Chain A
Amino acid sequence: MSVAMPPMQEERPQAPRAAVRPTPFATPILDVRRYNFWYGITQALFDLSLTVPRQAVTALIGPSGCGKSTFLRSINRLNELIPHTRHTGDILLEGVSVFSRGTDPVALRQVVGMVFQQPNPFPKSIFDNVAYGPRINALCAERDMPERVERALRRAALWDEVKDRLQAPGTSLSGGQQQRLCIARALANEPEVLLMDEPCSALDPAATQRIEELMVELKQAFSIVIVTHNMQQASRVSDYTGFFYLGRIIEFGDTKQLFTRPSDERTEAYITGRFG
């Protein structure tokens, strides 16, 4: 896919609030337009429209089963692998539809990395785990691989802990380290977007804090979309937040604003803990 150079940090668009778009971002990395999704005859997502800004952390919150993960897995088209699913509407990545005929889902998933709820390293060495993506996508020659692996591990704040045992199995690490290994594995592909599906729900508070710090660092280079059940987490790490409820997006906007002055009473009820 041809992808434009992301603008510098200070160019991050500042809210043209009165413009045509209701959401405050001039050049979003993801643009979702009236997206509907069905599992069989059950509709899971209803008429989603939102834009995800680049080089920022966007959090999706909402009660269980409200479609956050389904939406996340629509972005990299992982949902397609489930039989009997269908969708209408469109998701644009850098202005190009991820569903267009010219878009290869395999190439798409290289540009849109994903980190899952449970750490799922392969039963290979730490090195081979990180080198997995560059190898299958033939992103660099094998002689450049150590450099690329080191860069990914450094970005995932794991390098210092594993640099002496890169040949140890990835499964021998602790849960938090495994999750950072999975992040490093996703980063080794040099994606544009990093999707994180409740990346901390299986981790202890210390490991969670490390990952949260990591996300704040990573948004310098990547656009991050994170699904979380943890509202404190959303308010801590994200710049923008979307509230999902029953397959619909109820409210989307600046995190501070959404958490302090929600415009929808359902959002307010959820963030104040009255349901969900």
Chain B
Amino acid sequence: MRLRGGFFCAMPRCYRSVTDAEYVSDRMTTLPIHPATTPHAVPAPAPTPQSEWRTLRGTNVGDRLYRATLTALALVLPLLLVTLLAELVVGAWPAIKRFGLPFVWTSVWDPVAGVFGAAPMIFGTLASSLLALLIAVPLALGVAIYLTEFSPKWLRQPIAFLVELLAAIPSVVYGLWGIFVLIPFLRSYVVPPLRATLGWTPLFGGVFYGNSLLAGGIILAIMIVPYIAAVSREVLLAVPASQREAALGMGATRWEAVWTAVVPYGRAGLIGAVILGLGRALGETMAVTMVIGNRHDISLSVLQPAYTMAAAIANEFSEAVSDLHLAAMFEVGLVLFVVTVIVNACARLLIWRVARGTAVGSRAL
């Protein structure tokens, strides 16, 4: 520590009084009592603390290098996104010029005549994802709630592990399973009763051939359950025990405690989990294209074939016959990109809206 003006200011008098009495112990002789070293005589130190800071900062090369590297790395991802978007726009430009905005709401897809409209694929993508969410959210939330609140302890890890294992299965395997197991099962056990009871609604009309929006939605649901369940479980585990105790202490049953205290507390995180699943469902390609039927048509009935944007790109891109067809595929990719961004933006808004007050997981999302 450096002694500077001010530190000794209050002291000189008592030192002097000691020295004036000519009593100086061994220890005291080492103290700076000499008039030249007393604070009043010492000039201000030449290098001010500020300038010292500057030089320190200027000389630290490693720090600057580290900072520059991290900045560059942090900028790479947004840059990649922008490049991707630019590439899509450039590739799709002939189609954009030719069809304009009606591309997204016309339904004709005729590579031979060179007329393209992506409405059926946009519809199919959204409808299959929505259907998947309708099936997967209750299932995944049920798994998460069971595992965190109700299951015996020894069962938690094995079930959580098995559910998460579902995420490790390649999607083409899901597609095969869909063709050979799910569709025959739907055909013989699920669709007949559905048609018998709800066949009069437009949602379940028409002939069921097997490949359909329903099959695609179910496959997607199975694929996104592990994501939603795993994240929901983490969110529910993070809800403090005091919230459960508060509810139970008020006379809530365990079921009421879960629905009125635990789930509302984690609602932002739970919505985040659903959005994660939705993002996956929107972009999923292989399994869906194997079971959804790949027909350019909008049908309200979930029993009818449909098409998704991702499936169309996978199927037709390598077989595009003309430049315009290729450009149309690019534009489908662009639309998929934009739809995903819009869905995620809406989801983020939703999370912000419900995350007011304290809610688990909202900060992480």
Which chain A residues have a beta carbon within 8 Å of chain B's beta carbons?
A: 76, 78, 81, 83, 106-110, 113-114, 116, 118, 120-124, 132-133, 136-137, 169, 171-172, 182, 185-186, 189
Residues of B within 8 A of A81 (CB): 248, 254
Does B108 count as interface, using CB distance less than 8 angstroms?
no
Contact with A along B336-365 (1 / 0, CB 8 A): 000000000000000000001111000000
Q: B359–A123 contact, CB under 8 A? A: yes
Quick one: which of B246, B247, B248, B261 has the most chain A CB within 10 A? B246
Nearest residue in A to B259 (C-beta to C-beta)? A136
Question: Is residue B240 within 8 Å, beta carbon to beta carbon, of the partner chain?
Answer: yes
B256 located at the interface, meaning its Cβ lies under 8 Å from any Cβ of chain A in the complex = yes
B256 — which chain A residues lie within 8 A by C-beta? 136
Say yes or no: A123 contacts B358, CB within 8 Å. yes
Rounded to whole angstroms, the CA-CA distance of A182 and B265 in the bound complex is 16
Q: Are B251 and A78 in contact (CB under 8 A)?
A: no
Whether B250 contacts A171 by the Cβ 8 Å rule is: no
Tell me if B2 counts as interface (CB < 8 A to partner A): no
- Inter-chain CA distance A262–B89, complex, in Å, is 86
- A118-B242, A132-B260 given; A137·B248 CB < 8 A: no
Chain B residues closer than 8 Å to A123, beta-carbon distance: 264-265, 357-359
Question: What are 22 residue pairs bridging A and B, where the CB atoms are less than 8 Å apart in the complex?
Answer: A78-B248, A78-B249, A81-B248, A83-B153, A106-B252, A106-B253, A109-B249, A113-B249, A116-B246, A116-B249, A118-B242, A120-B245, A120-B246, A123-B264, A133-B251, A136-B252, A136-B256, A137-B250, A137-B251, A182-B246, A189-B250, A189-B251
Q: A121-B246, A122-B247, A171-B358 are in contact. List 14 more A-B contacts (CB 8 A).
A: A81-B248, A109-B249, A113-B249, A116-B245, A120-B245, A122-B261, A122-B265, A123-B358, A123-B359, A132-B260, A136-B252, A169-B356, A182-B246, A185-B246
In the complex, how many angstroms separate the beta carbon of A170 from the nearest chain B beta carbon?
8
Judge whether B243 is part of the interface by a CB distance below 8 angstroms: yes
Q: Is the CB of B264 within 8 A of A122?
A: yes
Chain B's interface: helix, strand, loop or mixed, by majority? Answer: helix
Kindly state the separation between the CA atoms of A81 and B249 in the bound complex, as whole angstroms: 11
For the A-B complex, the count of residue pairs with Cβ-Cβ distances under 8 Å equals 71
Complex contact A110–B245 (CB within 8 A): no
Q: Which A-chain residue is minimally distant from B250 (CB atoms)?
A: A133
**Closest residue on chain B to residue A109 by CB atoms:** B251
B residues contacting the other copy or chain, number (CB 8 A): 23
Chain A residues with Cβ under 8 A from B253's Cβ? 106
Contact between A132 and B250, CB atoms less than 8 A apart: yes
How far apart are A222's CB and chain B's nearest CB, in angstroms?
15
Say whether A171 contacts B249, CB under 8 Å: no
Contact A110 B248 (CB under 8 A): no
- Inter-chain contact B248/A116, CB cutoff 8 Å: no
Asked if B248 contacts A136 (CB within 8 A), the reply is no
Known: A83-B153, A123-B264. A136 touches B250 (CB 8 A): yes
A189 to B245 Cα, complex, angstroms: 16
B260 and A136 form a contact (CB under 8 A): yes
Which of B227-261 touch A at CB < 8 Å? 240, 242-243, 245-254, 256, 260-261
With the chains together, A263 CA to B319 CA distance in Å? 96
Given the complex of chains A and B, what is the CA–CA distance between A172 and B247 in angstroms?
19
How far, in whole Å, are A252 and B297 apart by their CA atoms in the complex?
81
Cα separation A110 to B250 with both chains bound (whole Å): 6
User: Nearest Cβ distance between residue B115 and chain A, in whole angstroms?
Assistant: 53
Assuming the contacts A122-B261, A122-B264, A136-B256, asked whether A169 and B240 have C-beta atoms less than 8 A apart, the reply is: no
B153 touches A186 (CB 8 A): no
For B243, give its contact among A108, A120, A133 (CB under 8 Å).
A120
A120 touches B242 (CB 8 A): yes
**In the assembled complex, how far is the CB of residue B359 from the closest CB belonging to chain A, in whole angstroms?**
6
Q: Is the CB of A169 within 8 A of B357?
A: yes
Rounded to whole angstroms, the CA-CA distance of A137 and B261 in the bound complex is: 15
C-alpha spacing A171/B253, complex, angstroms: 23
- Give Cα A108 to B256, complex, Å: 16
Q: How far is the CB of B326 from chain A (nearest CB, A)?
A: 52
List the A side residues contacting B243 at CB < 8 Å.
120, 122
What chain B residues lie within 8 Å of A83 (beta carbons)? 153
Q: Determine the chain B residues whose CB is within 8 A of the CB of A113 once the complex forms.
A: 249-250
Complex Cα distance, B201 from A63, in Å, reads 69
Q: How far is the CA of A78 from the CA of B359 in the complex (A)?
A: 25
Docked pose: A191 CA to B71 CA in angstroms: 60
A76 to chain B: which residues have CB within 8 Å?
249
Q: Which of B133-151 contact A (CB under 8 A)?
A: none
Known: A169-B356, A172-B357. A122 touches B251 (CB 8 A): no
Residue of B nearest to A122 (CB): B261
Distance in angstroms between the alpha carbons of A120 and B359 in the assembled complex: 13
> How far is A110 from B357 in the complex, measured between Cα atoms in Å?
27
Please tell me if the beta carbons of B240 and A120 are within 8 angstroms of each other in the complex.
Answer: yes
Cβ–Cβ < 8 Å partners of B254 in chain A: 81
Give Cα distance in the complex from A137 to B240, angstroms.
23
CB closest residue in chain A, given B153: A83
Cα distance A123–B267 in the bound complex, in angstroms: 10
CB distance from B170 to the nearest CB of A (A): 39
| A41 to B252 Cα, complex, angstroms | 29
Cα–Cα, bound, A118→B243 (Å): 10
Q: Would A107 and B251 count as touching, CB distance under 8 A?
A: yes
Chain B residue nearest to A182 (CB atoms) is: B246
Q: Across the interface, which residues of B come within 8 angstroms of A106, CB to CB?
A: 251-253
